[in-house]
Amino acid sequence: MAHSTGDSRYTYEEYKQTADWLLSKTQYRPTMAIVCGSGLGTLGELLKDQVVFHYADIPNFPQSTVPGHAGRLIFGNLNGTPCVCMQGRFHLYEGYPLWKVTFPIRVFRLIGVKMVIITNAAGGLNQDYKVGDIMMIKDHINMPGFAGQNPLSGPNEDRFGLRFPPMSDAYDKDMRKLALAVGRELGYSKMLKEGVYCGIGGPNFETIAECRFLNRLGADAVGMSTVHEVIVARHCGLRVLGISLITNKAVIDYDSELTANHEEVLQTGKDSAKYLEKLVTTLLQRIELNNNVC
């Protein structure tokens, strides 16, 4: 069952239809959602007592078309926290309008989610970053937004949020502080970073001039996702923790022989996912103990 084609956006009733369908198919009532980036789908495998849905079977859900994105929605328990996990997300470069890219976020809100952990594979613009580093996102730059590409464009749905939501507090400070503390306890200090993520449209990787430009704007990492999901999550009142895995170094030297490629991104994601998995599972255990989600 799919949303009709054309320029019409999802209605509130369609979001609710999908949410009600999911709630009718599982006993789980998740308070936490996890969105997996390229090569990071193994985060979903950590959930215990899983109930799995393929995107193709969920009413109104878009389909993931990118290698490294399984296209499954998994409900389960992770260290005592009921979670829902997206193994595969949607992107502007797949040809989806942003109201489709961000569809799952509002569905999560309607099934009772309070917080979302959004992960991605990103290129390191900050020259101090190394491949395999984990960056806690403290802020973002929405490049498509400068050209009018925003998931909140069009009529506002007041039942989700305000017409003009602030984004100065997009990334939850308390959760970021807790995640950094957990990372240090796990011995990850050398690979832990905190920085600004720049979202671009893709699907091509950036030119050298673009990388230099974005770095001078204040971006530490660059990728093709996350920003639009964060905007919609904050619009509907969800707390957000954003985490980038640095899977390649952005090329800023014209004499360099290096080029970015998706296979490298997926392999680095696979190689470094264990660190991110340990961080997220330990973090959720700490959240459960501190009752920090609600």
Known catalytic residues? 38, 69, 91, 93-94, 121, 224-225, 248, 262
Look at residue 206 and give its three-state secondary structure.
coil
Q: Which residues are CB-contacts of 257 (< 8 A; sequence separation ≥ 6)?
A: none
Among residues 43, 23, 148, the alpha carbon closest in space to that of 89 is found at 43
Q: Which residues are CB-contacts of 206 (< 8 A; sequence separation ≥ 6)?
A: 123, 200, 214, 222, 250, 260
DSSP type of residue 204: S
Contact 223, 199 (CB under 8 A): yes
H helix runs in 118-261, sequence order: 143-146, 173-185, 208-217, 227-235
Half-sphere exposure for 202 (CA within 13 Å, toward CB) = 21
d(CA 133, CA 153): 34
d(CA 150, CA 146): 9
Strand ranges, E, within the chain: 32-36, 48-54, 72-78, 81-87, 115-124, 134-142, 192-199, 221-223, 239-249
β partners of residue 244: 120, 135
Phi, psi of 138 (to 5 degrees): -100, -15
Phi, psi of 100 (to 5 degrees): -85, -40
